[in-house]
Amino acid sequence: MSGAARIPAIVLGGTGYVSGELLRLLAPHPHFVIAGILSDSQPGEPVAKSFRHLAPALGELCFQSQAGIESLVASLPRAAIFGAAPHGVSAALIDALLARAAAAGTDAHVVDISADFRYASAAAYEAVYKHPHGAPARIREFTCAVPEQLARAPTRHVAHPGCFSTATLLASVPLLALDLVTPSLFVAGVTGSTGSGRKPVEGTHHPQRHSDFYSYNALAHRHTPEIAACAAAASGVHADFAFVPHSGPFARGIHVTIQATLKAPGGRTAPDTAALLAALTDYYRDAPFVSVSAEAPHVKDIAASNYARLSATTNGRSVAVTCVVDNLNKGAAGGAVQWMNRLFDLPETAGLTAPAAGWT
């Protein structure tokens, strides 16, 4: 694809960490070119002022208002729109942009990273987030899944699952789809401080978080219904997830451990660890960003990359599967770019093959 044919990319979400990660991935992308980034609070301000580490790649790019972004979308023949606005804000914003795109004849695809289009109905969303959905008529235009568990989206637009959900689904869906475990799973997840966003709060303030480790929202985290719904859609099995999230003393990464009970063999031989690893490897044989190994994965193995690593073991009664992903990349911006590559029929790996940073 020539430079003139590169697809304009628009980022909604202003100065958040996920927006910054999207810009980092899009700046060198071979098929997308950054056309605009929305920040209603800072229109006209240089984007590099908020993301100093990206200054060499962003040049004179400035934030635009919603009205400016709507006009931009209407002026383009096609657009890749990445939603990184907060939940509760994203739906109405995307609805307005898609209406403007439709009126102008713009061929637009959206990948939303917020929670607004992850549920199959407005009622399901409202039960979790306790406020009305911003664009209920648009929900049917979105599919929510991790790319590795849906060969092709049946809708024009995609909702990317959250970072905890991404890691949990990568680890649990094969167990359910292959009928290896009873449908009751315990999930222990650990997230880095960037998962809480850019605005400093007690949970992410470095003196509070450094050298500490604690759980929060045990068995009541808002991602649990999302995990269950996405797992059922991907595996065909309705399972119960008991999810206990933890706050880790690092900036980037998600580490998840899934534990479940092996199903009674019923004439089959219960898989040993080698057979379990082989089953996971086969399940992800066509997934370029997922690898399975007997070695326990480390967060540093994948930090700042779009890769996921899994491992598993069994004692003949229980199964434990561990998964690590980068929360800002594979769990958000990188997964969104991966989906957008697919929506525009580009190579799935385009712009995403850089390895982990290693010493983050």
- How many angstroms separate the CA atoms of 132 and 315, rounded? 46
Answering whether pTM is above 0.85, one says yes
Q: Is residue 18 part of a domain?
A: yes
Domain count, the chain: 2
CATH code for the domain of 62: 3.40.50.720
Question: What percent of the chain is modeled with pLDDT above 70?
Answer: 96
Q: Is residue 352 part of a domain?
A: no
| Residue 323 annotated among the catalytic residues of the structure | no
132 with 194, same domain: the answer is no
Model confidence pLDDT, tens digit, residues 186-243? 999 999 988 766 676 776 677 778 889 999 999 999 999 999 999 999 999 999 999 9
- How many angstroms separate the CA atoms of 29 and 213, rounded? 37
209 with 262, same domain: the answer is yes
119 with 169, same domain: the answer is no
130 with 174, same domain: the answer is no
Q: Is residue 207 part of a domain?
A: yes
Model confidence pLDDT, tens digit, residues 262-299? 986 666 677 899 999 999 999 999 999 999 999 999 99
| CB 164, CB 254: distance < 8 Å | yes
Q: What is the pLDDT of residue 265?
A: 61
| CB 114, CB 86: distance < 8 Å | yes
- How many angstroms separate the CA atoms of 83 and 110, rounded? 7
Give exposure, 156-184, as e/b (b: 16+ Cβ within 10 Å).
ebbbbbbbbbbbbbbbbbbbbebebbebe
| CB 3, CB 29: distance < 8 Å | no
172 with 295, same domain: the answer is yes
244 with 132, same domain: the answer is no
Q: Is residue 348 part of a domain?
A: no
Tokens of 43: 């229109």
Domain end position, chosen among 110, 144, 178? 144
Q: Is residue 157 part of a domain?
A: no
136 with 179, same domain: the answer is no
Q: How many CA atoms lie within 13 A of 352 on its CB side?
A: 28
Q: Is residue 304 part of a domain?
A: yes
- Going by C-alpha positions, the residue among 309, 5, 316 that lies closest to residue 166 is 309
CATH code for the domain of 171: 3.30.360.10
202 with 241, same domain: the answer is yes
227 with 274, same domain: the answer is yes
179 with 313, same domain: the answer is yes
Q: What is the mean pLDDT of residues 30-36?
A: 98
| 13-17, 143-147, 326-330, 338-342: least confident range | 13-17
- Going by C-alpha positions, the residue among 357, 355, 310, 352 that lies closest to residue 335 is 352
Mean per-residue pLDDT of the chain: 94
Tokens of 177: 């789809």
What domain range includes position 8?
3-144
Amino acid at 72: L
42 with 182, same domain: the answer is no
Domain end position, chosen among 76, 109, 144? 144
Tokens of 174: 């094969």
Neighbour-count burial of 219, counting CB atoms closer than 10 A to its CB (0-12 exposed, 13-18 middle, 19+ buried): exposed
9 with 116, same domain: the answer is yes
Those residues whose C-beta lies under 8 Å from the C-beta of residue 180, and which sit 6 or more positions away, are 174, 262, 263, 271, 276, 279, 319
Three-state DSSP class for residue 330 = helix
Q: Is residue 341 part of a domain?
A: no
Q: Is residue 16 part of a domain?
A: yes
Task: Select which of 62, 144, 163, 323 is catalytic.
Answer: 163
Model confidence pLDDT, tens digit, residues 138-182? 999 999 999 999 999 999 999 999 999 999 999 999 999 999 999
Q: What is the mean pLDDT of residues 310-338?
A: 97
